[in-house]
């Protein structure tokens, strides 16, 4: 059994990372295993920013957003020489295994480190819920609730002024966040990268609905589908209706994690520790209909998760 492991959070931050870090540290201490924290993701691994953690290190963090370990983008980690430096920084401390929490790019970095001889396991963490092989990623539930809260508030002012409001949410290649929040928030239209839309038809439908007495329209736009700012200008011109745009931006990444994100992050983190110290490597721990599953890191990093077509169909039915 491995007795000395480390953890890092990589890529974009998301709510629930601290719950996962806490669960990793407490599980290792429960199992009699030493745990180290790598500061600032793979960049910190290269720069030798590695400290031993204990239960006091993770006190009073489960309710906090962000990550107490810090995170960063580190494209240079794809350079084998840089990875070798990071590997040596782990090995000189006797660290035998590493838990990496992040999105597809971070899991790809973990996979490459594993190919160099380090025992590695991954946990998916991204608000866009776009990691292949898992129904859920840490942070996605909190972000979705943040967006729905914004939709609820923007609907009030839209109704008061008979406006069209476009809300841009994150998701460059995946429309999961836009689609789920659009359905949950009662949006009239949801625009995602995975589905084509006809702007002229949409504007004609909106104009007709207003003529029939409709007081407002909400359009949720995934950033990968279009720029809501540009689209809002076109919608206003084509409909002749007062149109406003809200780009939610990084508010979607922050905030205290929901119960679901705290529980799932803790569950996946505990399974990651138990798997790693028992000798498993090259594995990502995810959820499939509520059950923890093991997915090959290579598959998680190489494959693209598709948006459920049922969501796309449902959004059109309920529009």
The per-residue pLDDT for range 90-137, each reduced to its tens digit, is 999 999 999 999 999 999 999 999 999 999 999 999 999 999 999 999
Tokens 């160099």, residue located: 116
- Side-chain half-sphere of 138: how many Cα atoms within 13 Å? 37
For residues 83-98, b (16+ Cβ closer than 10 Å) or e, as one string?
A: beebbebbeeeebbbb
Residue among 149, 234, 147, 237 nearest 197 (CA): 234
**Percentage of the chain lying above the pLDDT 70 cut:** 100
- How many other CB atoms are there within 10 angstroms of residue 42's CB atom? 30
Is the distance from CB of 17 to CB of 143 less than 8 angstroms?
no
The alpha carbon of 36 is separated from its chain's Cα centroid by a whole number of angstroms, namely 24
Residue 47's pLDDT is: 97
CA distances (Å), origin 122, targets 23, 151, 186, 224, 283: 14, 33, 35, 26, 6
- 2 pLDDT tier (thresholds 50, 70, 90): very high
- Domains of the chain with CATH codes: 4-139+257-302 (3.40.50.450), 142-253 (3.40.50.460)
Residue 220 sits at φ, ψ, to 5 deg, of -95, 130
Query: What digits encode the pLDDT tens for the residues 170-187?
Result: 999 999 999 999 999 999
pLDDT at 244 over 90: yes
* pTM attached to this predicted model: 0.96
Cα–Cα distance, 315 to 227 (Å, whole number): 20
The answer for 293, left when phi > 0, alpha when psi is -120 to 50, beta otherwise, is beta
DSSP class of 72? -
pLDDT at 228 over 90: yes
- 319 pLDDT tier (thresholds 50, 70, 90): confident
Answer positive or negative: Cα dihedral of 65, 71, 72, 75: negative
The neighbouring-strand residues paired with 285 are: 294
Residue 272's pLDDT is: 98
Q: What is the mean pLDDT of residues 240-245?
A: 98
Element spanning 38, H or E? strand 34-38
Query: What digits encode the pLDDT tens for the residues 31-90?
Result: 999 999 999 999 999 999 999 999 999 999 999 999 999 999 899 998 999 999 999 999
In three-state secondary structure terms, 36 is strand
- How many other CB atoms are there within 10 angstroms of residue 82's CB atom? 17
Q: What is the mean pLDDT of residues 225-254?
A: 98
Residue 106: which residues within 8 A CB-CB, separation 6 or more? Answer: 10, 11, 41, 42, 100, 122, 125
Q: What is the mean pLDDT of residues 281-305?
A: 96
Cα–Cα distance, 189 to 272 (Å, whole number): 39
Cα–Cα distance, 55 to 12 (Å, whole number): 25
Cα–Cα distance, 38 to 68 (Å, whole number): 10
Residue among 126, 309, 152 nearest 220 (CA): 152
């Amino acid at each position: 059994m491995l007795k000395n492991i480390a953890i890092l959070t990589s890529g974009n931050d998301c709510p629930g990372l601290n719950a996962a870090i806490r669960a990793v540290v407490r599980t290792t201490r429960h199992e009699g295993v030493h745990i180290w924290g790598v500061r600032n993701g793979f960049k910190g691994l290269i720069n030798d920013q590695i400290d031993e953690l204990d239960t006091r290190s993770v006190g009073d963090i489960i309710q906090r957003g962000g990550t107490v370990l810090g995170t960063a983008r580190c494209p240079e980690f794809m350079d084998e020489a840089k990875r070798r430096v990071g590997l040596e920084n782990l090995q000189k401390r006797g660290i035998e295994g590493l838990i990496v929490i992040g999105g597809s790019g971070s899991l790809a970095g973990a996979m490459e480190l594993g190919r160099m001889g380090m025992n590695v396991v991954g946990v998916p963490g991204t608000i866009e819920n776009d990691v292949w092989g898992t129904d859920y990623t840490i942070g996605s539930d909190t972000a979705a609730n943040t967006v729905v809260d914004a939709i609820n508030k923007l609907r009030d002012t839209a109704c008061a002024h008979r406006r069209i409001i476009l809300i841009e949410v994150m998701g460059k290649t995946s429309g999961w966040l836009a689609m789920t929040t659009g359905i949950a928030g009662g949006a009239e239209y949801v625009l995602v990268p995975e589905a084509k839309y006809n702007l002229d038809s949409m504007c004609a439908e909106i104009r007709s609905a207003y003529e029939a007495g409709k007081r407002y329209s909400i359009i949720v736009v995934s950033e990968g589908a279009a720029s809501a700012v540009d689209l809002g200008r076109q919608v206003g011109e084509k409909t002749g209706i007062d149109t406003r745009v809200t780009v939610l931006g990084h508010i979607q990444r922050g905030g205290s994690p929901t119960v679901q994100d705290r529980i799932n992050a803790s569950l996946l983190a505990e399974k990651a520790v138990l798997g790693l110290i028992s000798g498993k490597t090259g594995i990502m721990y995810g959820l499939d209909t509520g059950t923890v599953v093991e997915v090959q890191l290579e598959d998680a990093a190489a494959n693209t998760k598709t948006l459920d077509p049922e969501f796309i169909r449902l959004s059109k039915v309920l529009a």
